[in-house]
Structure 1
Amino acid sequence: MKGIKYSILIIIIIANSILCTSCWNYREINDLSVIFGLGIDKKDGLYEFTGKILLTANEENEGNNLSQTFISSQGLTIFDAIRNLVLQDGKRVYFGHLAFIIISEDIAKENINEVLDLFMRDDETREDMWMFVAPEPYSSKEILEIGLDHQELATYVNDTMINMKHVGKSYPIRLYEFINISSSKGKDGVVPLIFIKKTLLGESAYIIGNAVFNGNQMVGKINGDECKTLCVILNEQKGGILPVTYNDEAETTTVSLEIGKTKTKLNPVFTDDNITIKISTQTTAVIAEIMNNNVNVLDKEGKDKLIEAAENMVENNIKDLVKKAQAELNSDIFGFGQLIKKDNPSLWKQIEDDWSNIFQDIDIEVNSVVEISGSALYEKIIK
């Protein structure tokens, strides 16, 4: 009996060693165009596909391991445009290393999910790629081609998105996150904006602000400071600077508070004819910079005035952004609908189909608390 078991085991080992020595869909890298940055525009009714690809060493590029170039094509659909690339260099595009995608504003305003559908279905693409919108008058093609003069665009994009939590002036999002949001009711998505900006090193890509969506369609934008407030409401603020300016008798005081952490709680309150969202924030910070040395913000009286001004500023920023989302954008980027669904499922079933209209009349109550724990390493006013 043992002999039969050993024989079967040996057969299995030999079979696995033969069958598992290579990938079933293995392809030489020289047969592929490896793309790692992608821009999609629309021109004369056709989708224009622009990609930044890696080239392997060849006879013309001997001595270099890798080089980069751009490819571009058009088609009635995204897949059609991609396949048309074969007509240019005879190779298929490989999406396994695609790190980010830039979509023009006109496409985003039509239906952004029509463009994203292919990348969610294709088994080669990464669902964790970063998403961006190129606002008018820029096209995704020119942003991709200009990129950065001083570093690789893909590196800049990834580093900026990962470290954006320390700035908060854009809300990062990956492909799968946006698809999940846009495919469900009760919350609308945002996508970072990517511009072209002149710097000392030349024209470069620049990420700030967010495109705002209602379902699949872009309905407007929020700027960098509004993005910081959005991070506060979503309980995603991990740091950043809060510049506080206020009048103290005859003096105008400007102080930079370095935020340690902000905790935000959203609590829905239901009455017979209304829904109110109570927003409570608690921020810890240190005094990082004092612009006016004639005002003492380090003693108790000065610190109390600074705290009051900071709390008023946070509360007003939240109220202003919610008002803009309701009256101007009609976009629930805060997830108030999902909050109601979780807290009161029976009510949500009654209102979910009309949530877009109901959201515009939701009341909010804001209470912000700011705690200043110190003044960094220096505890005096510089005279």
Structure 2
Amino acid sequence: MKRIKSCILVIIIMTNTILCTSCWNYREINDLSVIFGLGIDKKHDIYEFTGKVLLTANEENKGNNLSQTFISSKGTTIFDAIRNLILQDGKRVYFGHLSFIVISEDIAKEDINEVLDFFMRDDETREDMWIFIAPEPYTSKEILEIGLDHQELATYVNDTIENVRYIGKLYPIKLYEFIDISNSKGKNGVIPLISIKKTLFGDSAYTEGNAVFQGNQMVGKIDGNESKTLSIILNKQNGGILPVKYNDDEEISKVSLEINKTKTKLAPKYYDDNITIEISTQTTAVLAEIMNNNVNVFNEEGRKKLIESTENIIETNIKDLVSKAQNKLKSDIFGFGQLIKTDNPSLWKQIEDDWSNIFQDINIKVNSVVKISGSALYKKIIK
């Protein structure tokens, strides 16, 4: 009996070895258009696609080096526009290397999830791709087509996101992160803005600030400094420069602090029928620049004034951004609702359906603590 079982096992192994000799879905790269950047616009209810693709070596393009070009198409739906790309070069588009999408502001204001739905469902696309909004008057096509001569857009996107901690003036987000937020109650999403700026080398991509959403619709924007404050509230600020300008008796002091780390804690409090969110921040920074040599920020009195001024600036920035989100944008981009849901589930069940209105009336208390840990490499004032 054991010998029979052994023979059957050997036959199965040999059969699988013969039959399973290659990938079932293997495709030659020459049969595909490998796309790694995509812009999406909409005109008269028709979607317009602009894609940046790699060209493999062929009879016209001999050699081992890959070149790049643009392809474009139109369609009544996203999938229709994608398949119409075949009409340009006869190849299917491969999205496995697509690293970012740029979406026009008019689409974002209408319903951005109509565009993102395909990329979440398709089995080739990556859920961790970065998404951007092209603010008016720019189109996604204009932004995608810049930079072939002196700046590769994909490189710019990757480098900017990798180094965003050094400036903090945008809050980057991936496709799956935004979808998760838009599908939940108690928090709204933001997407970074990407536009065009003139430089000495020509037009260049420029990323600063964020588009603010309420559900799946864009309702406004925040600038770079407000995006930095948003990162602080969300406990995502791990660097950046904080310029501090304050009056010291008759002197106006300008100091730059380089942030090492900011830790933020959010705590909901309930007083009668009112909800208060207590925001506490602890910031560690180094003294990176002193622009007024008549002010001594190294003695006890000078350091105290600098710390107090810095704490006031952080607290004011937080209060101003929350007020803008409540009164102008009417969007809970901080996740206060999710905080209440976790802290007090029974209360959340009562208010979740009306949270967008309740959010506009909640109170906040802000307390910021700043610690200056040093003064970089130079510990004197230049006279």
What is the TM-score with the length of structure 1 in the denominator? 0.98
**C-alpha contact 1:83 1:92 (8 A) present in aligned 2:** yes
1:287-306 to 2 correspondences below 5 Å: 287-306=287-306
1:1-383 to 2 correspondences below 5 Å: 1-147=1-147, 149-383=149-383
Give 3-state SS (helix, strand or coil) of 2:52's partner. Answer: strand
Alpha-carbon deviation of 1:200? 1.9
Give 3-state SS (helix, strand or coil) of 1:146's partner. Answer: coil
User: Distance in 1 between the 2:130 and 2:81 partners?
Assistant: 21
Alpha-carbon deviation of 1:30? 1.3
Aligned partner letter, 1:265: K
User: Distance in 2 between the 1:15 and 1:177 partners?
Assistant: 44
Aligned partner letter, 1:351: I
User: Distance in 1 between the 2:11 and 2:263 partners?
Assistant: 60
Deviates more, 1:278-287 or 1:23-32: 23-32
User: Distance in 1 between the 2:147 and 2:118 partners?
Assistant: 25
Aligned partner letter, 1:250: E
**C-alpha contact 2:73 2:81 (8 A) present in aligned 1:** yes
Aligned partner letter, 2:328: E
Give the root-mean-square deviation of aligned CA atoms: 1.1
Deviates more, 1:316-325 or 1:7-16: 7-16
User: Distance in 1 between the 2:149 and 2:332 partners?
Assistant: 38
Aligned partner letter, 2:210: N
Change (3 A) 1:2 1:152: farther
Q: State the aligned residue count.
A: 383
Alpha-carbon displacement from aligned partner over 1:199-251 (angstroms, at most 9, x marks no partner)? 12211111111000000000001111001100100000111111100011111
User: Distance in 2 between the 1:286 and 1:141 partners?
Assistant: 42
- Structure 1 unaligned spans of 5+: none
Alpha-carbon deviation of 1:148? 5.5
User: Distance in 2 between the 1:197 and 1:18 partners?
Assistant: 59
Alpha-carbon displacement from aligned partner over 1:4-38 (angstroms, at most 9, x marks no partner)? 34423322332332333212122211111110000
User: Distance in 2 between the 1:299 and 1:208 partners?
Assistant: 37
Give 3-state SS (helix, strand or coil) of 1:151's partner. Answer: coil
Give 3-state SS (helix, strand or coil) of 1:57's partner. Answer: coil
Aligned partner letter, 1:20: C
Alpha-carbon displacement from aligned partner over 1:322-364 (angstroms, at most 9, x marks no partner)? 0000000001000000000000001100100100000000100
Aligned partner letter, 1:131: I
Which runs of 4 or more aligned residues in structure 1 lie more than 6 Å from their structure 2 counterparts after TM superposition? none
Alpha-carbon deviation of 1:64? 4.3
Aligned partner letter, 1:317: N
User: Distance in 2 between the 1:143 and 1:279 partners?
Assistant: 38
Give 3-state SS (helix, strand or coil) of 2:132's partner. Answer: strand
User: Distance in 1 between the 2:140 and 2:256 partners?
Assistant: 35
**C-alpha contact 1:57 1:64 (8 A) present in aligned 2:** yes
User: Distance in 1 between the 2:260 and 2:133 partners?
Assistant: 30
User: Distance in 2 between the 1:69 and 1:153 partners?
Assistant: 13
Aligned partner letter, 2:128: D
**C-alpha contact 2:146 2:153 (8 A) present in aligned 1:** no
Alpha-carbon deviation of 1:162? 2.1
Alpha-carbon deviation of 1:151? 3.3
User: Distance in 1 between the 2:301 and 2:184 partners?
Assistant: 49
User: Distance in 2 between the 1:11 and 1:325 partners?
Assistant: 68
Aligned partner letter, 1:75: G
Identity of aligned residues (%): 79
Give 3-state SS (helix, strand or coil) of 1:236's partner. Answer: coil
User: Distance in 1 between the 2:317 and 2:38 partners?
Assistant: 35
User: Distance in 1 between the 2:148 and 2:190 partners?
Assistant: 24
What is the TM-score with the length of structure 2 in the denominator? 0.98
User: Distance in 2 between the 1:20 and 1:270 partners?
Assistant: 63
Alpha-carbon deviation of 1:165? 1.9
**C-alpha contact 2:187 2:334 (8 A) present in aligned 1:** yes
**C-alpha contact 1:212 1:331 (8 A) present in aligned 2:** yes
**C-alpha contact 1:131 1:173 (8 A) present in aligned 2:** yes
Alpha-carbon deviation of 1:371? 0.5
